[in-house]
Amino acid sequence: MSKTEAGARKGASSRPQKSGPRGRLARSNDRAYFLMAIPALLVYALFYLYPTLTNLRYAFSEWDGLQEAKFIGFKNFTRSLTNDDTFYKVLGNNIEFTGLVVIFQTALSLLFAIFLLKNTRASVALRTLYFFPTILSSVSVAMVWQFLYEPNLGPLNVFLNSIGLDFLALNWLGSETITLRAVAFTQVWFHTGQMMVVYIAGLQQIPQELYEAAEVDGATRWQQFKSVTWPMALPTTAVVMAYTTIQSFRAFDLIYAMTQGGPNNSSSILVTLIYLTAFNEYRFGYAATQSIYLIVFILVLTAIQRRLLRTRY
Amino acid sequence: MKKEMGAKAFKLMIAGLFAISATIVPVTASFAAGEALGAKCTTEGESTGTKSTSLVCKENKSGRLVWAKVKLSDSNLAPIRPLRAPRGSIEFWHWRAEDKAIFDKIIADFQDLNPGVKVTQVISNSTDYTNTALNKVRSNPKAAVVTTFRGSQFNQAATAGLLKDLSNEQFAKRNVIKSMMGAGQYQGKQLGIPYQSLFNNPVYNIEIFKKEGWKLPKKFSDWISYCKTAKAAGYVPMAWMGAFRPQALQIINSSLMNTASTDAQLNAQISAIDTGKDPITIKWVKDMAGKYADLRDAGCFPDNPKGVTEAAGNTLFATGKSPILPTGSFSMGGIVKLNEKMDGNMGLTGFNFTDDVNARYTGITNNTFILGINSKAGRTEQRIARAFISYLVNGEVATAYANGTKQHVTVLDVEYTDSNLRNTASIMSERLVLAPRFTFLNQGVRDILEDALIAIVGGETVDKALEEGAKLIKQKLG
């Protein structure tokens, strides 16, 4: 008897045997479950697995998107790491953008949620107002903020100049040092209302007794926040941070409509760089490589987040 | 055998008669229309227009200047009538959303002429179109009429064999102005019909220039003086939109046009940058970039130039805060939409970056919106596309398109009735070159060079901006 056959028999004997009507039912249920999963599996394979694997193939190629791809080994990967200042610049932008958005969006949405927690008329009205930007399309938001940020005619600078704060009237979308931050602010404005709603739902789950007990113990508002609200809101914070991180990686439409990644790539993040490399320069192979690095970047970030949150709980 | 020869000779005779009559009839018609009669022919090369019946001033055998029939098309024959389309539906892919209404009307008329035919416009904005259209139409059998930009996009489509050869189509030979077809040619084949004739030259506000008593600048030092004078008078000398690279760097055409002594040399030096053979720190680029610094120092650009959006730039010009819009004739339609009073109040002028008023070129033209047939489309769809393009290059239809969209076109027998189109006629007398910006075939390289020029306008030194750009280009092509 061969080793394989022996192994197969051993495996078969160790499995619990199903016999009789109940066993037949279980087997037919298994088959039904499997069949039911097939459509989803096909969709997943066709729209996710196949493009991902194809992307992997193109990452090792030189391809202009229209003609035959040419295999070039690891050349694209080494080029990104050793001979592409733009890639590093954009990676740095991505870290800064994600950092700014995650910190400010999380903090502001928590702040708004705390202030608007009670279901009074004014709170409900303000919640609606803060939530409003979320329902707008990102291109509309980009157009509005492009207008607001316009350095010479834009309302923001006109206002700052009129109240004597000329030194604050900056070249919001034309300066390489400011543009990324200006776009990050727009992203925060765009999505804070949405995260505020998530926080409100989370904060409303905190038992009122905990606050009453803290009050009896003489805790101030700040102490109540520090010792009750914040620890109890940590699971919601985890959700908000994870979601905000994803949103910041998907800010392509907002950035592209506002600045096209400019000036001089100063507001480009990895997704805009990938798009421009592929569709503006027709270097699809190199763009595929950049997207592999993006996946790696997201994996690393996710791992760090998971580790931090695990330590917290 | 004898009988066969006779039939052949008869056919040849008929063809010959047809050719002669096709030549004579338009010439006679032009005289009948009084196009040249009464106007003395004094300047060689002067033409009476872009009609199939137009005349050109030419020296005859005895050395006298006389009016002669101008052969604008590639044929002696008159333009053909639109072809018939088989039943079916196609998509017409382009980026000109502003032309949708007029195309809707043209398409409705085309559909009336060809029952059972449906043409649907698929429009995306110019940036998206540049970036994604070719990939999308490649696998779409309905996307039969595809437009491309001159330069890298057309080149990309041609290289990939995406465009059907139109060299033998009668409408490509007889209905369009031959000298404007270069942008649609690839390796000796006519793969597309450039439909529009644009002028990428500064647009000026006629009224302001008249009111202030200014003369149009003719050479670079005039531009510097103009900027200083206009700024002193409280204007923004040029409504330059540095936040939007495609429009901001329309002036790169003017700054490139006289950087070489021949067209071949100009093409060769751009190609050397494009392929990385020469860095952008080379002398001729440095000299050109230095002119941007000169313009900046003379106060030609708005404050915070790198942050000025396209909308803001157009507003500056449309509201009379700026007398010059340094983009091109294609912006005029949008300006009129912003301010109706600007209708008929705009002219075009060349932007000479040299101090020689007799420089080789004084203005820019560009033939773009290249109409092509997608070779990957279905056979019936390709036939409908062929008929549709033949319809678009019909004089009457092109007249409606030109006046409706305020664009010059490359089609024969077009009557320009729009005052803005008539006002731009002055640019035609300039020495025009086909926009050199689109000679760059590597968009990535061109973007880096243009970013460096924008940085210079924004205050960066010429050396630093070009050195940084050169490094990035080297990495990109490395």
What are A196-232's pLDDT values in tens digits? 999 999 999 999 999 999 999 999 999 999 999 999 9
- Chain-centroid distance of CA A29 in Å reads 38
Contacts of A282 in chain B (CB under 8 A): 152, 156, 443
Question: Is residue B383's pLDDT more than 60?
Answer: yes
Task: Note the pLDDT of residue A310.
Answer: 65
Maximum alpha-carbon separation in chain A: 93
Q: Name the more confident of B212 and B344.
A: B212
Has residue B34 got a pLDDT over 50? no
Distances (CA, A) of A10 to A14, A23, A145, B170, B398: 6, 21, 68, 80, 82
* B17: pLDDT strictly greater than 70: no
Using one digit for the tens of pLDDT, what is the confidence trace for B407-430?
Answer: 889 998 888 888 777 777 667 667
Q: How many CA atoms are closer than 13 Å to the CA of A37, on its beta-carbon side?
A: 6
| pLDDT tens by residue, B229-287 | 999 999 999 999 999 999 999 999 999 999 999 999 999 999 999 999 999 999 999 99
Within 8 A by CB and 6+ apart from B159, the residues are A66, A67, B186
Calpha distance B326→B202 (Å, rounded): 4
Cβ of A253: how many Cβ atoms within 10 Å? 15
Sort strands B363-373 and B193-198 into parallel, antiparallel or unpaired.
antiparallel
Estimate the share of chain B in helix, then strand, then coil, as percent rounded to the nearest 5: 50, 15, 35
pLDDT at B12: 52
Portion of chain B with pLDDT greater than 90, in percent: 65
Closest CA to A58 of A251, A265, A277: A277
Give the HSE-up count for residue B107: Cα atoms under 13 Å, Cβ half-sphere. Answer: 19
Q: Least CB-CB distance to A173: which of B135, B162, B307?
A: B307
Helix (H) or strand (E) holding B56: strand B55-59
Task: Determine the pLDDT at residue B87.
Answer: 96
E-state strands within B304-399? 324-325, 346-348, 363-373
Asked if B306's CB is within 8 angstroms of A263's CB, the reply is yes
Nearest CB to B138; choose among A66, A259, A278: A66
Which residues of chain B have a CB within 8 Å of the CB of A279? 130-132, 135
Question: Given pLDDT bands bounded at 50, 70 and 90, which one contains residue B66?
Answer: confident
What single-letter amino acid sits at A69?
A: A
A86/A277 Cα distance (integer angstroms): 11
Sorted by where each begins, the domain ranges of chain A are 18-71, 79-312
Average pLDDT of chain A is 89
Q: What is the pLDDT of residues A247-273, one digit of tens each?
A: 998 899 999 999 999 899 999 999 999
CATH class of B203-349+442-477: alpha beta
Rounded to a whole number, what is the distance in Å from the CA of B473 to chain A's nearest CA? 10
- If one looks up domain A79-312 in CATH, what number appears? 1.10.3720.10
Question: With an 8 Å Cβ cutoff, is A133 touching chain B?
Answer: no
In this structure, which CATH number among 3.30.1440.10, 3.40.1260.10, 3.10.20.30, 3.40.190.10 belongs to the domain B88-199+366-428? 3.40.190.10
For residue B141, which phi and psi values (nearest 5 degrees)? -65, -15
Percent of chain A predicted with pLDDT > 90:
74
Q: What is the pTM of this model?
A: 0.78
Which residue of A153, A157, A177 is the best one to mutate when testing the B interface, meaning the one whose CB has the most B CBs within 10 A? A153
| pLDDT above 90 (res B67) | no
B27, pLDDT greater than 50: no
**A120, HSE (Cβ side, Cα atoms, 13 Å):** 7
Beta bridge partners of B363: B432
Say how far apart CA B319 and CA B321 lie, in whole Å: 6
Q: pLDDT tens-digit profile of A96-155?
A: 999 999 999 999 999 999 999 988 999 999 999 999 999 999 999 999 999 999 999 899
Pairing of strands B363-373, B432-434: parallel
pLDDT tens digits for range A160-183: 999 999 999 999 999 999 999 999
Q: If you average pLDDT over residues A15-20, what whole number do you get?
A: 59
Instruction: Report yes or no: A99 and A248 within 8 Å, Cβ to Cβ.
Output: no
Read off the pLDDT band of A20 (50, 70, 90): confident
**Contacting residues of A for B244, CB less than 8 Å apart:** 260
The mean pLDDT of B151-179, rounded to a whole number, is 92
Q: Searching chain A, which residue's CA lies closest to the CA of residue B130?
A: A280
Nearest C-alpha of chain A: how many angstroms from B469? Answer: 10
Residue B44 pLDDT grade (very low, low, confident, very high; cuts 50, 70, 90): low
Range from A70-79, B20-29, B83-92, B272-281 carrying the lowest mean pLDDT: B20-29
- Position B197 scores a pLDDT of 86
The answer, for A181 touching chain B at a CB cutoff of 8 Å, is no
How many residues does the structure list for chain A? 313
- The helix, strand and coil proportions of chain A, stated in percent and rounded to the nearest 5, come to 75, 0, 20
Q: Give the pLDDT confidence score for residue A302 in this predicted structure.
A: 80
pLDDT at A309: 67
Shortest distance, CA A135 to any CA of chain B (angstroms):
23
Interchain contact A67–B (C-beta under 8 A): yes
User: Out of B305, B307, B455, whose CB is closest to A150?
Assistant: B307
User: What is the rounded average pLDDT of the residues B161-167?
Assistant: 96
